[in-house]
Every structure is written in structure tokens, then in C-alpha cells.
Chain A
Amino acid sequence: MSYRWEVLRVNLSTGSVAKEPLNKSWTEKYFGGRGLGAKYLYEELEGGIDPLSADNELILATGPFTGTIVPCSGKLAITTKSPATGMILDCSIGGCFAPQLKFAGYDMLIIEGQAEKPVYLSIDNEKVEIHDASHLWSKGIFETESQLHEEHGMGAVVLSIGPAGENLIRFACIGSEYYRQAGRGGIGSVMGSKRLKAVVCSGGKDVTVFDMPRLLELAKKAIREDVLTDTNLWAHVEGTPSIVEMSNSSGVFPTRNYQDGVFAGAQKINADSIQKLRPHKKACFACALGCGNYLCVEDITVEGPEYETLALAGANCGVDDLRAIAKFNADCDDLGMDTISLGNVLGFAMEMTERGMKDFGIRFGDVETYLKMPRLVAYRKGVGKELSRGVKQLAKTYGGAEFAMQVKGLELPGYDPRGSWAMGLAYATASRGGCHMSAWPVADEAFGDLDPFTIEGKAQLVITGQHYNAIKFSLILCDFWALSMDTMSEMVSCVLGREVPTANLEKAGERVWNLLRLFNVREGFKVADDSLPARIFKDPLKSGTPAGRVLPREQFDSMLREYYQLCGWDSEGVPTPEKLKELEM
């Protein structure tokens, strides 16, 4: 029930298109999305392959809720091996692609190989075709989508890459519906390496659930009592820009390449300033929250900027000009580039320049040069050629590793761990490198009542978050719906027609988390890699509540040891055979 039990497998080297049954026993353990994508990738990829070679795969996975009326279930999970980190990479993207894939009859689309010339893939129910894409190559995401809508109709949903993906930039995105992204880890460059410009999908089939009358009642109740509540409605009312005020007030707002946690210009780029420029909103499929907030300022229209963009491409670059950030955001969306990583790269380049270590020709707050950067980087032109290598590689060549704000090659997002110690552990142990999507304990510490400057109980806090998100993103529910595991259990049991108790979901979350770890262990990642940039351990924050604070190295090490122990991993961070047996892996 709710699965279509079919996988569409396309090999771009041979041009073959094949349909095969979805592995049923894997769905019982991994459900869909993040977990099922990881299971397929783990089984199908050899360790050590080059992420930008024909050996890598792109796995587009739906989940058991996709295409149903379960609230906030419209996202798609895309899994691959990251060219930025060499680790497993799963991104989720909002909009309507996932339900269309399910309506076309497929739970999953696996893309293998590498085309000789630029191509795009169209899926219209059973009709699956590989087309020449030479007329689309080099175009931005906005124009590519418009062109494909003309060719395939407005009802078709498009996933595509821009010039950054084509040029294999290590922080290129995949975009959809103009302003939505599978954003991190260079997922767009994997698509570019396959010379796959776009995937267009439309479907007209049913999705069935086991007990529709009950699901209708559950969904109605959930929307009324659990979705449209104080805990979630912030996403609709102000959206993520409301985090600017909290982050800045608690001193964890990355400012000038993480040199400070309080930004003098925060008032100019916070939710209050942005609210005045919002004409309308937008929602993903099956979503009652509608977190998509458009912004119009002068000649710029963009969905966003979201908190992470305001933090990394705003405060972290010393930029408090909202129009400039909106322009930067829109350009990155069109070029297909991650604003977190690019903002972080520019912050690093600005600090290197100001310290006289290497002149990249850009300084904090220099808006004119800043606005030229997205294009220069995406096309590897001028200084953009060097900057496109990312913070970790730049530091290897020019120095500055101690303030290269990355973990395992992925540039850090917008929460300073010196003012939220558990967030430091979350970054260090995240399955895709410096990422805030595995766990988000900053909400309990800097934005909540928990003391941010103690390690007591923090390892467990991070683990609970990681396991919770692992199952939530496998069922594919949106991050912005803070629902209980019991609600998940009720819904999944109703959809699948078999009892899935909360305890089973908790175990599945832990299983998915361990599988992600196993993938990374196979790629050679070890305890020494689970660390943070030296600045977090050594340079005290200057302002606000955490002024004078670092995350002391010994405290971090102690937290990490406790984390491994509670995970059932050995001292090298490898899941023990007993743990794997317990998880039936």
C-alpha cells in the first residue's frame, strides 16, 4: 500500500531505460527517502569511487507518504556520493516533483552512467525518453524550467541544474520550481558530471492507502491540532528569517567569517525588515504551512532569502543590504549554487584578504564585488576559478586552515558552536559533513532554556535529534513540522495497513543513522575527521551572551567519546558488530 513497487533505472552511458521491482524487504527496514536511498546507494556503489565519474549514482526517492494527504509530505530525497566531501550525501527538495514521480508510477528513479552529450530525461507515466539537451546547456535554471514547460506543458515538474552544475562546481545545487533547491554537497555537479541537464516528470496514476477514511480523519486532526500550532506557524508567518533575531540576540549569528556572533546590521536583514517586502506565499504539495515566502525589492524577486542565506551570504560577508542579499540569492538560484557554501567561501576569502595572507580582491561589506562573485564562481572566471574549490581546498593552498569554517569539506551553516556546544557535536558527527540537518540542538540551547555551555546530556540530545530526523526524512516529512513519533507511527500504520509501533520507528531511525555511518566508514572516515575548525576551540567570541567563550577542545573530545559510547560505536567511531546485530543490519 502507498508504494507503487516500481523503480525506474536509467543508464545514461548505454541509454537504457529499465523498470524493476522495488526491494520490499528494504522498505520494511528503511521505508523510503533518506533511508531507502542510502540502502540502495550503499549496496550498489563500490567504496572509493570518484563522485564525478560514471560510477556514481543519483537516487531520487519518494516515501510511503508521498502523493497522499499526509501533511508536509511533498518533498523528494536525492542521494549520491558527494564530490565536496567524499561522503554519502542526501538532500531533500520541496515543491511537487516527488508526488509527480509517484503519480507516474515510480517509487524511485536511479540514474547511472554518464551521457556523451548533454541530455535531459522526460517521464510521462510509462513513456520515458532521453532527449538531446544542447539547446538548454549553459542556460540558467529559470530559463531551463520555462523552456521545458513550453515543450512538455505547465503540468510537468522540472528538476534541473544551472551553469554551476554543468561546470562541476563543488557546491552546485539541483533546482526546482525556480527557487527550491537540493542544496548541499555539490549534488548539482554530480548531475552535471552525468551531462544530465534536467528531469521532467508528469504522471496521472493513483496512490492508494490502506485506510483512506481513517487517514482523512488523521490528516484533518493533525492539520488542526498539530501543524497549525505555535510550534510550527512561525514557518508560515515570518519563515526562517525570524531566526535572525534569535541567533543574533543569543550571539551565535556567524559574522565576518565567524569572527563574531553578533552582527551590527542584523536589524536591517531580520524578519521585520523582510516582512515589509513580502507580496505573497507559496506551499509545497500537501502542505498546510506554506513556508515559501516571496520577497520583492526594487527589480529583484526571489523566494527567500532564508535564514541560512541571510547568515552566510549576509552577516558572514559583512553585508547588511537586503537588496544585495536578495540579488545574490536570486543569482545563485538561477546559476544553481548553494548560498551557504558560497557565503562561507566569500567570508573566508574576505578574511584572508584583510589579514594580508592572500589577496582575493574582496573585503567584508564590499557589496559591489560581492555581487559579481556568483557568476565568476559558477563559470570559474577570474578569482572565481580559485574560489570554486571551496574553503577546505583554499586553506590547503593558501593557509588559514584554523579559520576555514568547514567540517569534512562541507562549509558550516549559520549557528556558531561556541554559543551552542551541542551544535558543535552535531556538526562534527553529521553524516554529510558540516551540516545542520542531522540534528538542530541550537533550538534547545541558544534558542531555548538549556545551558549552552555545558556538555552534560548533550551527546544524548544530539543522538535523539539525529535518529528522529533519520526516520522523519526516510518517511519524508518536512523539517518544519515538529510532530511526535507517535503521530508518525499512527500515520504510517494507517497508510501501510500494518502496525508500525513507535518503538519500530525509533529503531529504524537508529538503523538509518548507522547505515549512513557505515557508508562513511567504508570511505575511510575515522574519529579524527569528527572535528571542528580550530577557531571554534581557540578564538573566543567577542560579543553578546557567549562573549569570551570557546568550545574547549577537551570538553568537545569528552562529548564525542560519550557520543560514540551511547551510539554503540567503538573508539574509532565504527558501529560495533553487536550494535549492527541489534539493529538487524
Chain B
Amino acid sequence: MVVVWVRTYGALSSHSIEEGVDKGDGAPVAFPRKRVKVREILARLHIPEEAVAFVAINGVKCTKDAWVTDGDKIAIFPLVAGG
């Protein structure tokens, strides 16, 4: 069983996370396996891949093919413009 803690930002935060409620540290999302890819988390949350520009696992940038393991914190950002 993998439980990851997912934070979505910007308009992506409107995508529902069914498993739990985000209390600031991310919402728990569970998979009945030992490891999953970032891509699978996006699919589970119904977030279109093209809407995602940036993903970090435990504060380090990663690709959508990166593996995620139990307890990881995932941050998902949309494309941003301007600074």
C-alpha cells in the first residue's frame, strides 16, 4: 500500500481528491501497490497531463514518469506566467 500526500496549486486545486481532505500538508491518496508513477496520480485525480507544468517529490523537481513511494509529498503546479 502506498499513501502519498498530494498538494495541488492554482486552478488545479479545484480537482477533487476523494480520499481525504487537505489540511495544509496535502491530501492522502492511496494505491494498493508498493510504488506508483506521478502520471498515475494525475490520472487518479482527473488532472489532465497537459495542465501540469511542474511536479516535485519531497521538494525536488521530477518528471511525470518518476516513481513515488509510501509517505512521499507530491506538489503539482500548473503552467505559470509572469513573476
Contact surface of A with B, Cβ cutoff 8 Å:
228-235, 237-238, 240, 242-243, 245-246, 248-251, 266-267, 271-272, 275-276, 307-308, 413-415, 436-437, 440, 442-443, 446-449, 478-482, 544-545
A246 lies within 8 A of B83 (CB): no
A413 lies within 8 A of B83 (CB): yes
Q: Mark B1-32, 1 if CB is under 8 A from A, else 0.
A: 00000010111110000000000110000000
Chain B positions 63-83 with a Cβ under 8 Å from a chain A Cβ: 75, 77-83
Alpha-carbon distance A545/B56, docked complex (angstroms): 11
Instruction: Return the contact of B11 from the options A230, A245, A308, A545 (Cβ within 8 A).
Output: A230
Most buried by B among A232, A249, A446, A481: A249
- 6 A/B residue pairs, CB under 8 Å, sorted by A: A231-B78, A250-B54, A272-B25, A479-B82, A480-B82, A545-B61
Q: Which chain A residues border B42 with CB–CB below 8 Å?
A: none
B59 lies within 8 A of A242 (CB): no
Q: Which chain A residues border B12 with CB–CB below 8 Å?
A: 230
* Nearest chain A residue, comparing its CB with the CB of B9: A242
Q: Determine whether B43 belongs to the interface, using a CB cutoff of 8 Å to chain A.
A: no
Q: Which chain B residues border A249 with CB–CB below 8 Å?
A: 54, 56, 59-61, 75
A240 lies within 8 A of B61 (CB): no
* Nearest chain B residue, comparing its CB with the CB of A443: B80
Known pairs A234-B77, A267-B59. 6 more at Cβ < 8 A? A235-B82, A238-B9, A249-B75, A275-B24, A447-B80, A544-B61
Alpha-carbon distance A39/B54, docked complex (angstroms): 39
A234 lies within 8 A of B10 (CB): yes
Q: Which chain A residues border B54 with CB–CB below 8 Å?
A: 246, 249-250, 447-448
Alpha-carbon distance A253/B2, docked complex (angstroms): 31
Most buried by A among B60, B77, B80, B81: B80
Most buried by B among A245, A251, A415: A245
B11 lies within 8 A of A234 (CB): yes
Alpha-carbon distance A414/B83, docked complex (angstroms): 9
Q: Which chain B residues border A480 with CB–CB below 8 Å?
A: 81-82
Q: Which chain A residues border B60 with CB–CB below 8 Å?
A: 249, 544-545
B79 lies within 8 A of A272 (CB): no
Q: Which chain A residues border B25 with CB–CB below 8 Å?
A: 272
B81 lies within 8 A of A231 (CB): yes
Instruction: Return the contact of B9 from the options A237, A250, A479 (Cβ within 8 A).
Output: A237
* Nearest chain A residue, comparing its CB with the CB of B63: A449
Q: Which chain B residues border A448 with CB–CB below 8 Å?
A: 53-54, 79
B10 lies within 8 A of A443 (CB): no
Most buried by B among A233, A479, A482: A233
B83 lies within 8 A of A436 (CB): yes
B contact residues, range: 20 to 34
A271 lies within 8 A of B83 (CB): no
Q: Which chain A residues border B81 with CB–CB below 8 Å?
A: 231-232, 440, 443, 479-482
Q: Which chain B residues border A267 with CB–CB below 8 Å?
A: 59
Alpha-carbon distance A237/B12, docked complex (angstroms): 10
Alpha-carbon distance A267/B60, docked complex (angstroms): 12
* Nearest chain A residue, comparing its CB with the CB of B81: A482
* Nearest chain B residue, comparing its CB with the CB of A308: B83
B9 lies within 8 A of A271 (CB): yes
Alpha-carbon distance A24/B64, docked complex (angstroms): 52
> Nearest-CB distance from B14 to chain A (Å)?
9
Contacts A234-B11, A272-B24, A436-B83 known; A246 to B77 CB distance under 8 Å? Answer: yes
Alpha-carbon distance A308/B75, docked complex (angstroms): 21
Q: Which chain B residues border A272 with CB–CB below 8 Å?
A: 7, 24-25
Q: Which chain B residues border A248 with CB–CB below 8 Å?
A: 59
Q: Which chain B residues border A415 with CB–CB below 8 Å?
A: 83
Q: Which chain B residues border A437 with CB–CB below 8 Å?
A: 83
Alpha-carbon distance A554/B7, docked complex (angstroms): 40
> Nearest-CB distance from B21 to chain A (Å)?
15
Contacts A237-B10, A242-B10 known; A440 to B78 CB distance under 8 Å? Answer: no
* Nearest chain A residue, comparing its CB with the CB of B64: A449
Q: Which chain B residues border A544 with CB–CB below 8 Å?
A: 60-61
Which 3 residue pairs of A and B lie closest in terms of their CB atoms, listed nearest first? A234-B10, A482-B81, A479-B82
A440 lies within 8 A of B59 (CB): no
Contacts A229-B11, A234-B10 known; A245 to B56 CB distance under 8 Å? Answer: yes
A230 lies within 8 A of B51 (CB): yes
A266 lies within 8 A of B59 (CB): yes
* Nearest chain B residue, comparing its CB with the CB of A240: B83
> Nearest-CB distance from A308 to chain B (Å)?
7
A230 lies within 8 A of B79 (CB): yes
Q: Which chain B residues border A242 with CB–CB below 8 Å?
A: 9-10, 77, 80
> Nearest-CB distance from B64 to chain A (Å)?
9
Q: Which chain A residues border B75 with CB–CB below 8 Å?
A: 245, 249
> Nearest-CB distance from A46 to chain B (Å)?
34
Instruction: Return the contact of B10 from the options A233, A250, A446, A479 (Cβ within 8 A).
Output: A233
Q: Which chain A residues border B56 with CB–CB below 8 Å?
A: 245-246, 249-250
Alpha-carbon distance A482/B56, docked complex (angstroms): 23
Q: Which chain A residues border B13 with CB–CB below 8 Å?
A: 237
Alpha-carbon distance A446/B79, docked complex (angstroms): 12
A440 lies within 8 A of B24 (CB): no
Alpha-carbon distance A440/B75, docked complex (angstroms): 22
> Nearest-CB distance from B78 to chain A (Å)?
4
Q: Which chain B residues border A237 with CB–CB below 8 Å?
A: 9-11, 13
Alpha-carbon distance A251/B54, docked complex (angstroms): 13
Q: Which chain B residues border A238 with CB–CB below 8 Å?
A: 9-10
Instruction: Return the contact of B77 from the options A413, A447, A478 (Cβ within 8 A).
Output: A447
Alpha-carbon distance A242/B80, docked complex (angstroms): 10
* Nearest chain A residue, comparing its CB with the CB of B79: A231
Alpha-carbon distance A228/B77, docked complex (angstroms): 16
Alpha-carbon distance A437/B82, docked complex (angstroms): 8
> Nearest-CB distance from B57 to chain A (Å)?
9
> Nearest-CB distance from B2 to chain A (Å)?
21
